[in-house]
Amino acid sequence: ILQAQNMPHGLPGKVSLVGFSLGGGMSLAWGTQLPDLVTGAVVWYPLTSILHDVPGFVSRLKTPVLMFAGESDTYKSCCLIETARALASAANQSGQPLELVTYPNTEHDFVVGGAHYNSQSYSDAFNRTAVRLKQYFAE
């Protein structure tokens, strides 16, 4: 983040993170721990299999999260809907800012050009991403 901010086209101030699959998992696991640098994260079908203590992880969130998950996602068991729902439930119970949006009949990589492109799910997630980024940058 610091390197990107110091590049010729970089802007000062906090950043918002958008990540997909592995990148979504990294944004979720580490980016949400950097409130001095990050305003929030939007994660699309993020890697969640690395989170072994869901309530403990959620209790340490320091930035808001918007997560998208396909209800039929079984890709390498990395991004299962059950884990996404467990994260959302733990966040709800502890008052942490994690919002989960799920898409029925949607698999992993549902973006344009993805292996399982789903136009309806993609369009909704894209629009929600734009709205959320505007909110993050207004803060």
Share of residues in the chain with pLDDT > 70 (%): 99
Q: How far apart are the first and last CA of the chain?
A: 18
Reduced to 3 states, what is the DSSP secondary structure of residue 79? coil
Whole-model pTM: value is 0.94
For 75-107, write each residue's pLDDT tens digit.
Answer: 999 999 999 999 999 999 999 999 999 999 999
pLDDT at 50: 94
Query: At residue 5, does pLDDT exceed 90?
Result: no
pLDDT in tens, 37-47: 999 999 999 99
- For residues 25 and 3, the answer to whether their CB atoms sit within 8 Å is no
| C-alpha span between 67 and 96 (Å, rounded) | 13
